[in-house]
Amino acid sequence: MAEVDSRFLLRVALHTAEQGMFVFPLWPRTKVPALHGADQCSGLGVCAHGHQGWEARATRDPELIRRWWRNWPLNIGVAAGRSGLHVLDLDSAHDAMPPREWAGARDGWDVLARVAGRAGQPFPGDTYAVRTPSGGFHLYFGAPPLVELRNTVARLGWRVDSRGSGGYVVAAGSLRPQGRYDLVADRPIAALPAWLVPLLLPPPFLEPPVDQAPTGWYQAGAVSEVRKNAYLQTIHDKVAATPSGERHHVLIRAAYTLGRLVGGGDLDAQEARDCLHAAASRWRGRLSRKDIRTIEDGLRAGAERGRSLAS
Ligand SMILES: [Zn+2]
């Protein structure tokens, strides 16, 4: 049995890596990482220059995967952040009653449906999805490009967690005593819907749009980096989602807006340019010379009327 499982799980690990995910071994029939932890580090081999945890060691290299999975029926961990993923983890109720705020919800799926309803958005279910042995679901999404999303626990609501940077999920095909992780929707992994991004950021970063932001919300230091990136993400998503008839207009306004922040010293010109180039190249799969010119014109005009987010 173990031998059959071992061959099967090796194939699953290779297949998962072929799909672009970084994998690492979990002990058989568990979700516990099988690579040594920092407390048991010998400081040898891969750890010769400091301990390497599962996130750093997760791989897509078929040779390494064959070596890891050769003799053991190991489960497969997917390093979410390393793989560019943010995975929504919709748990079952586990026989518990929801708190009053979520009264009537049966599980995390119901709660996410309500969160989407309140936001006036469709249920974000059109993506790669795995059912867990305990009856929950993992919805896989591409993480947003400009802001780092870490793991969340119940931030979206009761029984809704998520796994991003610093987190992992058990891959489809893995075995637990209760059953298997089943791929129930083999769809392409969708980008995380833009409306979910601010809801997944830590609460202090739920800021009003910059034009209505109260004085002083943007402060120097490490925190401002996260806020700045969230702001760039918002601009990026707005520009990228613009329908074809309005693109020139929206792009010049976005460039002008970011140009003012460059002029005020809150933003590096290259960061502004990178954000707008990334957004506009989503329209036709590449940047046109006209878009590049529009961006430069907007940035230059904005920089002449510099403003700071802090004032
Ligand atoms: Zn180590």
pLDDT in tens, 28-56: 999 999 999 888 899 999 999 999 999 99
Distance 55 CA to ligand 1 centre (A): 12
Distance 206 CA to ligand 1 centre (A): 37
Q: Is 135 strand, coil or helix?
A: coil
pLDDT category, 155, cuts 50, 70, 90?
confident
> Percent helix, strand, coil in the chain (nearest 5)?
40, 15, 40
Distance 79 CA to ligand 1 centre (A): 17
The confidence score (pLDDT) of residue 2 equals 62
The confidence score (pLDDT) of residue 1 equals 54
Distance 60 CA to ligand 1 centre (A): 20
d(CA 54, CA 37): 8
Distance 72 CA to ligand 1 centre (A): 21
The confidence score (pLDDT) of residue 221 equals 39
d(CA 236, CA 113): 26
pLDDT, tens digit, 9 for 90 and up, residues 167-181: 999 999 999 999 999
Distance 25 CA to ligand 1 centre (A): 15
Mean pLDDT of 260-284: 89
Mean pLDDT of 64-90: 96
Distance 42 CA to ligand 1 centre (A): 6
Instruction: Break the chain into its structural domains and give their ranges.
Output: 2-192, 204-303
Cβ burial of 72 (10 Å; 0-12, 13-18, 19+) is middle
Distance 34 CA to ligand 1 centre (A): 12
Q: How confident is the prediction for the chain on average, in pLDDT?
A: 87
Cα dist from 89 to 75, 159, 199, whole Å: 18, 8, 15
Structure token pair of residue 128? 């790669």
Distance 179 CA to ligand 1 centre (A): 31
Nearest to 23 by CA among 47, 58, 73, 50: 58
Distance 172 CA to ligand 1 centre (A): 27
pTM (2 d.p.): 0.67
134, pLDDT greater than 80: yes
The one-letter code for the residue type at 194 is A
H/E element, 75: strand 75-79
H/E element, 92: none
Are 123 and 113 in contact by the 8 Å Cβ rule? The answer is yes
Distance 54 CA to ligand 1 centre (A): 10
The one-letter code for the residue type at 200 is L
89, pLDDT greater than 90: yes
Mean pLDDT of 61-66: 98
Distance 155 CA to ligand 1 centre (A): 32
190, pLDDT greater than 50: yes
The confidence score (pLDDT) of residue 224 equals 62
| Bigger pLDDT: 137 vs 255 | 137
214, pLDDT greater than 80: no
222, pLDDT greater than 50: no
